[in-house]
Amino acid sequence: MKILKKVVLFLLFIFAILFAAVQLSPYLRLLFLQTGLVEEKISIAGTGSMYPTFPKGSGSTDIIRAAETVAFPQMRKYPSGLNLFGLTLFSYALSHGDIVEFENSRTKTLSKEKYGEEAGFVKRAVGLPGDSVELRDGFLLLNGKILDEPYIAKPRSTYGGDFLPDCKVMSIPQNSIFVLGDNRKASLDSRFELGLVDISSVHDVIPWDKQEEYKKSWRDTTSDKSLAYTVTLDPTEFVRLLNEKRKEKGLQAFKYNVLLSNSGKIRGSAMIKTNDFSTEATRSGVTLSKAIKESGYQNIIFAEVSTRGYYEADELLENFLEFPQTRKILYSSEYQDIGIAPVIGEVFGCPTQVVVAHLGGYVPPNYTKEEIESWEKLVKNLEDVLPSWRSLKEEEDVDRGKVDQLVSILEVRLTNAQRVLSKMKDNQWLDDSEKKMVDMDKNAASEAEKLIDELSKK
């Protein structure tokens, strides 16, 4: 027992000496770093792309957050190892789920463009040489199977980009890896311009089996798969958030209208069915006005904003407000009602969600003084002449049939003119039937003049 105790103390003493030597000697430290026996601290910027594994910065802009340091994880050098008599000792091969730090010409360009300074990236290696990866319905499929990912910020949040779009299978070539940020909706990674990462550009790594300390911030993934083929948007939450923004600008809150949600659903379903996401509905034929009419909603003016993607309420609002045209519509004072519909479907076998928001509103017509006076004059003229023509029905020497026809035309014209004039005085828009009355009055006036001319000759 005493011998064992002495051996342990001796080993601890030797280790302490070696550790002190490594700390004091830059050459020995470099050697130990290269073997992987000693790790070094790497600073993590607060961009938020690896949240929740690493914290987000607190700055108000991307550039400010990128300048913040939010963590100093211990990482081992890559590649690492010690060549001794033809043998490589202490080497490490990349594994699925490793966190890697890398730098290449693309990271320098992208970081310079987005953050104003060249830098390397820290991401998670999810695809290794020989693997196949696919992004489908918000999930990452590794070699054909949905990957269990407790480290990502939100479930079912992995959607495609320009480099790897949704529902396209990519095989990872030799000497390359496919990397993603844990915060999938806020990460510039292999789905986008970054593309595949050459293994030779990897400088540091946190192996998967050394990430125990981060698991306390990860999610329970038990119910993730149950979210497949479900909508991600809460429409009422979106309207609530939008109304908060409108209030800040001194605008009235929108009223949520179910009929407008129904018209949005009609449009969204037609978009997915025909793969026609144009406002003109060139292939589907289901235009905004047609969908509005089919839903039963009635108002004066309408507008539509739409987008494709799996958004939550706050993400969708942020997306809409990025574009001047949609921002103008959502901040307009012309509309009072809004409805929004997330619609799930498939385009060429690929799950797709389209979100369609319909707005409706009332703008008073503000008729001119001349328009109102012309209808007042017509009503007065008809009221003045009708009694005399009605009295002719009792005369013996007139064509009573034509008199009856004339009186009927004049009575209809008077009723219609009174209705139109009432709407105008109340500054209300004419409905379709009243617009027809206006058009028909011209023909009715011609018929009345013809009958008056024929009766006058007799």
Sequential pLDDT tens for the chain (458 residues): 556 554 444 444 455 445 544 454 554 555 555 655 667 899 999 999 999 999 999 998 889 999 999 999 999 999 876 665 555 556 789 999 999 999 999 999 999 999 999 999 999 999 999 999 999 999 999 999 999 999 999 999 999 999 999 999 999 999 999 999 999 999 999 999 999 999 999 999 999 999 999 999 999 999 999 999 999 999 999 999 999 999 999 999 999 999 999 999 999 999 999 999 999 999 999 999 999 999 999 888 999 999 998 999 999 999 999 899 999 999 999 999 999 999 999 999 999 999 999 999 988 888 999 999 999 999 999 999 999 888 887 777 888 888 889 899 999 999 999 999 999 999 888 888 898 999 999 899 999 899 888 888 75
Q: Which ranges of 282-368 does DSSP label H, i.e. alpha helix?
A: 288-295, 313-321, 324-330
Q: Which residues contact 148 (CB under 8 A, 6 or more apart)?
A: 221, 224
The strand order across the sheet containing 255-256 reads 255-256, 337-347, 350-361, 301-308
Structure confidence at residue 419 (pLDDT): 94
| Residue-range domain boundaries for the chain | 26-227, 235-361, 369-457
Structure confidence at residue 13 (pLDDT): 42
CB 340 within 8 A of CB 357: yes
Neighbouring C-beta atoms of residue 348, cutoff 10 Å: 7
Fold (CATH) for 235-361: Pathogenesis-related Protein p14a (3.40.33)
Spelled out in words, what is the top-level CATH class assigned to the domain 26-227? mainly beta
